[in-house]
């Protein structure tokens, strides 16, 4: 055992180290939690959820990793907060608008078409994140959003088409489920890919109102049964 080195004469013993306090880390700024959510969402959309590092999110928000962990604990809980506080609130108004249209199939289709357009205009990250994390195999949001947002919306519209078909308002040789697929295809992808097709088709002058009007005209005259003819 090594002998202890004697303390020099006249020196004072070292002060005991202060215990580490628990709770909120220092350096918090007002509105930091919402900024962290926004930074996480931007990273998820631009590079994917699996590739996003918590330290990058903290840096983008002007925070430290310690503050991020204080608010959310870990990446799993951060993702859950982004879904609950950013993704679902962006999508739910479209479902509510379709539900409010009731049994009027024309109003329901219009609510879906206009709702999709408004959602993507207000939240440009929606199509990027959806393609990356919902439609792609192994996407981190596939099961969550299918259960909590996507499935209720598409199921609601499919049921609206089925009810209208039973009333003789929709052609009998159309499958209500595939009608909903057509509706999604004619709304989500054109709005998501608008910058590309406007350039390719030399259609830069066409706005979202033009696209919605065209889509509604195409859809409503395509699925409508002729009066007095259920098929």
Residues whose CB falls within 8 Å of the CB of residue 229, separated by 6 or more in sequence, listed in order: none
- Give me the domain span that covers residue 37: 31-73
Domain presence at residue 165: yes
Domain presence at residue 24: no
Same domain assignment for residues 143 and 203: yes
Number of domains in the chain: 2
Evaluate whether 189 touches 120 at the Cβ level (below 8 Å): no
The overall pTM is greater than 0.95: no
pLDDT tens string 35-87: 999 999 999 999 999 999 999 999 999 999 999 999 999 999 999 999 999 99
Q: How far apart are CA 175 and CA 181, in angstroms?
A: 10
Domain presence at residue 4: no
pLDDT tens string 44-58: 999 999 999 999 999
Which is higher by pLDDT, 153 or 123?
Answer: 123
Evaluate whether 162 touches 176 at the Cβ level (below 8 Å): yes
Same domain assignment for residues 215 and 173: yes
């Amino acid at each position: 055992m090594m002998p202890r080195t004697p303390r020099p004469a006249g020196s004072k013993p070292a002060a005991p180290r202060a215990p580490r306090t628990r709770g909120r880390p220092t350096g918090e700024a007002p509105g930091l939690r919402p900024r962290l959510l926004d930074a996480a969402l931007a990273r998820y959309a631009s590079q994917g959820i699996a590739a996003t590092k918590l330290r990058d999110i903290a840096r983008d928000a002007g925070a430290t990793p310690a503050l991020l962990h204080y608010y959310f604990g870990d990446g799993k809980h951060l993702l859950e907060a982004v879904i609950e506080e950013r993704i679902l609130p962006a999508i739910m108004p479209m479902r509510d608008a379709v539900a409010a249209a009731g049994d009027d199939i024309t109003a329901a289709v219009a609510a879906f078409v206009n709702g999709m357009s408004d959602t993507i205009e207000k939240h440009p990250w929606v199509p990027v994140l959806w393609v990356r994390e919902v439609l792609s195999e192994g996407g981190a949001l596939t099961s969550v959003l299918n259960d909590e947002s996507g499935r209720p919306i598409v199921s609601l519209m499919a049921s609206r088409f089925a009810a209208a078909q039973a009333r003789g308002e929709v052609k009998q040789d159309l499958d209500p489920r595939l009608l909903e697929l057509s509706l999604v295809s004619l709304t989500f992808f054109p709005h998501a890919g608008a910058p590309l097709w406007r350039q390719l088709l030399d259609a830069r002058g066409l706005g979202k109102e033009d696209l919605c009007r065209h889509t509604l005209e195409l859809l409503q005259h395509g699925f409508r049964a002729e009066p007095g003819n259920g098929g």
